[in-house]
Amino acid sequence: MSLKLLTDDAPLDPDDELLVAYVDGELDHDSRTQLESRLLDDAELRRRLQSLQQGWDYLDDFPALTPCEKLVESTLELVVSDIVKPTAESSASRVFVNRFRWPLITAGLCVLGILAAAVTIYGVRSFHYQTQLEDLAIAENIDAYYYGRDLQLMRDLALNESWTNLVTAMKEIGDLSPPEPIVSNVDLSEREDLIETLSLVQRSLLDSNWKRFTRLDEQDQQQIRQTAERVQAQPNADVLLQTMQIYSAWRETLSSELRDKIESDDLDQRREAIKQAIDQTQLAMSKRSSLNLSDDTIERIAFALHQILKMRLQNEDPGATKFISRLKQFVDSERAELMAVGAMVFGDAGRPDGRGGRFGFPRGPSDRGSSDRGSSGNSLNDRPAPLTLEELAMIEIILSDADRDVLDSIAGDPRNPMMEAVTLRYWAEETVRRKAWSRNENETTLVDRYQQLDPHDRELIDLLPAKQAIDRLTPSYRRGP
């Protein structure tokens, strides 16, 4: 029986790896069936399997670190030397040794076979474990390597000034947070110790990405590994990887049509799609920024809007004056002013479905009906005109320095006039929404009003269809026509 020690010059036999995976229960159904068919026909393969199974029990006795190869060789040499070396014992001892020589040699070879099998199993497991540690860093950035595999596209984006400005703005307003490296920036020899120190959130994120990576078929895994190798070979690998990470997050906000165009081989189509995607992202970012406005900013903008309405009334603006006059027939002055500001900010005449104005603002009497004039003779156009650029500038003046910095991030420096106007309109709309809701936040709910009814009226409500019951419980000023 010949033994070959496990060294870098003697790579693992594929059959040994296959047998170890079989013993570990890691083979799929087809591979296991094929191997068992081979075992039925191949006596040598069965013998090797038996040796591996016997060596299995020796694994727990091995230290955690990779065994020293020289130590293993020395141990094996001593065993062989003890078996075959001549002794100076008495003739009776030599007769005994000669009589049991072959059984002893056979037993020794069996021991060597078991040791070799154990070393083989340990080597296979160590090899797989090292491979997993390498793949873990790749799995950490699975989206970047998978969606950013077109390195030329990544370089084009990195050199695109509009895209880099957009990324900067998204970072400043909190729309984009590039992931912090977990294990990818740590040497392979230190990763195992690092994993034990990770927080629960980091472990969960890493585990999620690892599962996604292992679920891919071998071809996709290999493609991702190749992309990672190509990136690491670049002189600006860190910058390139960060661009890939940002792109993989950004593309998720785009439509599938735009993504296909950006990732196409048609360069003209790609450039146009990138420009269109940047414009769409800027508008979406401008709208989302309104959700982050502080209460102080809301109060500042609300003050500016009421001042704008007051100036229009002082200047006897027809739309504002007639609109306020109509509303005061149905609601108090405070609500009429709030609704006038809302009409001025949202700047349309409400939906034509007869169910109320845009964003829940009640529609005026002249808005009811299909003609341009209501029963009172008022025109649908008798409402405040939308905010002008000069009025938007009044809002910008009253903002704090921090709010202006956010506006600079979104609209650019120098500011893009269109993006500045759009952003200020979004902020004004958010202000009206919050102020309208805060005014009604202490009003009773439908359930409260139902419970406040006397038993007789409550029974009548119970007999009504759901829609009519809700209408009966809803205040008149909030009902549709």
- For 314-364, the pLDDT digits (tens) are 998 888 888 888 888 888 888 888 888 888 898 743 333 333 343 334 433
By CB neighbour count within 10 A (0-12 exposed, 13-18 middle, 19+ buried), where does 186 fall? Answer: middle
Q: What is the mean pLDDT of residues 434-447?
A: 62
Question: Do 148 and 154 meet the contact criterion of CB atoms below 8 Å apart?
Answer: yes
Over the stretch 183-240, which tens digit does the pLDDT of each residue have? 877 787 788 788 888 888 888 888 888 899 989 999 999 999 999 999 989 988 888 9
C-alpha to C-alpha distance for 244 and 348, rounded to whole angstroms: 42
DSSP 8-state assignment for residue 264:
S
Residue 1 carries which DSSP code? Answer: -
- Please write down the long-range contacts of 210-214, taking CB distance under 8 Å and 24 or more positions apart: 210/136, 210/139, 212/139, 212/142, 213/135, 213/138, 213/139, 213/142, 214/139
Q: For the CA atoms of the chain, what is the radius of gyration?
A: 39
Is the pLDDT at 127 greater than 60? The verdict is no
Q: Is the peptide bond before 318 cis (omega within 30 degrees of 0)?
A: no
Axis crossing angle, helix 318-327 with helix 333-346, rounded to the nearest 10: 140
Spatial separation of the C-alpha atoms in residues 44 and 35, rounded to whole Å? 13
Strand partners, 373: 379
* DSSP assignment letter at 173: T
Which among 105, 130, 123, 118 is positioned nearest to 53, based on CA atoms? 118
pTM check: above 0.85: no
| DSSP run (H or E) holding 329 | none
Phi-psi region of 13 (alpha: psi -120 to 50; beta: other; left: phi over 0): beta
**CA dist., res. 251 & res. 473, Å (int):** 47
Helix (H, G, I), strand (E, B) or coil at 7: strand
Residue with tokens 């797989």: 128
CA–chain centroid gap for 134, Å, is 22
Give residue 368's pLDDT: 37
Beta bridge partners of 7: 10
Mention every residue, 6+ apart, whose C-beta is less than 8 A from residue 236. Answer: none
Residue 294 in tokens: 């502080």
Work out the angle between the directed axes of helices 401-411 and 417-440 (0-180°, nearest 10): 130
Give, for 22, the enclosing helix (H) or strand (E).
helix 14-24
% helix, strand, coil for the chain, step of 5:
70, 0, 30
Q: Give the total residue count for the chain.
A: 481
Asked if residue 119 has pLDDT above 70, the reply is: no
The pLDDT of residue 100 is above 70: no
**Nearest C-alpha neighbor of 150 from the set 274, 273, 240, 279:** 240
Question: Helices 200-215 and 101-140, interaxial angle, to 10°?
Answer: 110
3-state SS class at 352: coil
The overall average pLDDT reported for the chain is 75
In terms of pLDDT, which residue wins out, 111 or 467? 467
Whole-number pLDDT of residue 35: 79
Structure confidence at residue 55 (pLDDT) = 65
Summarize pLDDT for 38-86 with one digit per residue, the tens: 877 888 887 887 777 766 655 555 444 443 444 344 444 444 444 444 4
C-alpha separations of 156 from 243, 271, 320 in Å? 10, 9, 51
The C-alpha atoms of residue 412 and residue 395 are separated, in whole angstroms, by: 18
